[in-house]
Amino acid sequence: MNVDYLVNSLYLIKPELAIASALVLLVLIDLIMGNNKKFLPYVAIAGLIAAAYFIIGQFGMNSLAFVSKSNKGMIIADPFGAFFKGIVVFASLFVVYFSIKSDEIKASFERHGEYYTLIFGMILGMFFMISASDLILIYISLELVSFSSYVLAGFTKTALRNSEAALKYVIYGGVSSGIMLFGISILYGITGSTNLYEINSLIQSSSIPNLTFILSGILIFVGIGYKISAAPFHFWTPDVYEGAPITITAFLSVASKAAGFALLIRFIKITFIKSVDSAGYWQLVDLIDWKTFFIFLSIITMTLGNFAALWQDNLKRMLAYSSIAHAGYLLLGMAVLSNQGMIAIIIYFAVYAITNLGAFFVVMLIANKIGSENIDDYKGLGYSQPFLGVSLAIFLISLTGLPPTAGFIGKLYLFIALVDAKMITLAVIALLNSVVALYYYIRVLKNLFLSRPANGTFEFKVSFSNGLVLVLLAAPIIILGIYFTPLVDLAKNSMQILGF
């Protein structure tokens, strides 16, 4: 074991190093500066920009870090990982900005050091989740994300729903990660390795007890399914999304989900792949029928998410169910098990990230002023605050997936992938689901524009910087809805996973 090997590996994990150093720096600055907390967000932003710089460098990379005699590599630097890390950093930048502006977060001023530190803990964990190729690192990173988010969900500690959210999150999270760990231990027991590449070469070459393998695979999926809030593991989502501070809800719904999907794709693609044929379809080792599994899961997830969203009056809670439904759509892309499906997922995710951040930003700005997230309290917002109203409308239309927004492009590519794979029934089910979704999104729009406001409810001004950020989020949705070639090119560049 020589030191060179470690140093060379460090070059490949620069984004992680940037985030880790920023985390430590945040703790130290909080310690030294005492009650002067106003530098913390700027340190956070600087750390994120540094990480973003290194991530851009990773688009050209394609190698494994921490390779040794006994391990084929712990972590991967490849374009696929770079894309999802990019999504995480993008979301984090906005969330840090939201946190500066959020009244909820401002109220717990004395805990800002811990707040930003824990956000960076989440980011670090997500980075590892996205690029890990070893079950041990995968598990630790999942726990790192979970631990930080448990605390952040209950961060303000003022409202009862806040503590309830944190507690529910801990209990569901603890159970699911325990189940996942059990699955990992069984997988290690039957293969003798924790490295995904090694497991892959092993299950291709030798016979493995079939039933056990299926169970271990499914048990591991429980942990991932919990992170992306897929159907039978989604119970925490509405309560946590509603109870947590809006900034954290936005972060969970975008970044956490991105990391979960990246992990899912990588886990399936590296561990189970046999070959990729010329049309881009993945031939998996036929130990577990992942295709059927994903088809069922996606149908349940999106149907459940969409129908439950119909009855919600709280906008945050409605967005929570809608995010479950979106996880269902994304799982459709997994069910195709092809490169085309993966491109669709990546496009969908890029759009979903921007849209969801925007939607939560508007909800936060309004909650700051009127202190409510109830849909009925939004009546007539479109008249008194046309700027906020129109932005929210854009975001919601994009979430529905109607043209000319970017959301349409995401759905379009998903459906094309489904039709190409001759999964017409599934496409039809997804389409019907979108119609259901249309109903509850439009309901909000109806409140915004078709009702008159009660006197003086919305008498406030949107500050210049908030307006600018809103435009930054809303403009790409329209632009990408019309001119989406760069997005597709990015997706095609980002789909390369190391190894296959």
Partner 1 sequence: MSLELFLFLVFAAVAAVSGILMITRSEVVMAALFLILNLASLAGLYLLLNAQFIAVVQVIVYAGAIMVLFLFVIMLLRPEHEKIVTKISGIRTFAFIIAALVFVQLAYVILKSHPGSALNSDVTASVNAGTVESIGTELYTNYILPFEAAGFLLLAATIGAVVLAKRKFE
List interacting residues with partner 1 (CB under 8 A). 1, 6, 9, 13, 20, 23, 27, 65-66, 68-71, 74-75, 110-111, 114, 117-118, 121, 124-125, 128, 134, 136-137, 140-141, 143-144, 147-148, 150-151, 154-155, 157, 166, 182, 186, 189-192, 202, 206, 208-209, 211-212, 215
Assess contact for 243 and 159: CB atoms under 8 A.
yes
Q: Which is nearer to partner 1, 215 or 488 (by Cβ)?
A: 215
Shortest gap between Cβ of 60 and partner 1 (angstroms)? 22
Whole-number Cα distances in Å, 283 to 207, 220, 289, 290, 325: 18, 21, 11, 11, 27
Q: Which is nearer to partner 1, 138 or 423 (by Cβ)?
A: 138
Q: Which is nearer to partner 1, 69 or 452 (by Cβ)?
A: 69
Nearest to 346 by CA among 409, 275, 269, 391: 409
DSSP 403: T
Query: What's phi and psi for 244, nearest 5 deg?
Result: -70, 160
Q: Which is nearer to partner 1, 1 or 464 (by Cβ)?
A: 1
DSSP 274: E
Q: Which is nearer to partner 1, 190 or 300 (by Cβ)?
A: 190
Q: Which is nearer to partner 1, 144 or 335 (by Cβ)?
A: 144
Report the alpha-carbon distance of residue 318 to residue 441 in Å, rounded: 9
Report the alpha-carbon distance of residue 68 to residue 138 in Å, rounded: 18
Assess contact for 436 and 310: CB atoms under 8 A.
yes
Query: What's phi and psi for 69, nearest 5 deg?
Result: -55, -45
- State the DSSP string of 220-271: HHHHHHHHTT-GGG-THHHHHHHHS-HHHHHHIIIIIHHHHHHHHHHHHHHH
Q: Which is nearer to partner 1, 70 or 455 (by Cβ)?
A: 70
- Alpha helix (H) residue ranges in 379-484: 381-384, 386-400, 406-420, 424-449, 464-482
Shortest gap between Cβ of 147 and partner 1 (angstroms)? 5
Assess contact for 398 and 481: CB atoms under 8 A.
yes
Nearest to 498 by CA among 227, 269, 306: 269
**DSSP H or E segment with residue 55:** helix 40-58
Report the alpha-carbon distance of residue 199 to residue 186 in Å, rounded: 12
Shortest gap between Cβ of 448 and partner 1 (angstroms)? 37
Shortest gap between Cβ of 88 and partner 1 (angstroms)? 16
Report the alpha-carbon distance of residue 195 to residue 362 in Å, rounded: 43
Q: Which is nearer to partner 1, 123 or 418 (by Cβ)?
A: 123
Q: Which is nearer to partner 1, 103 or 143 (by Cβ)?
A: 143
Q: Which is nearer to partner 1, 185 or 451 (by Cβ)?
A: 185
Report the alpha-carbon distance of residue 118 to residue 99 in Å, rounded: 13
Shortest gap between Cβ of 45 and partner 1 (angstroms)? 20
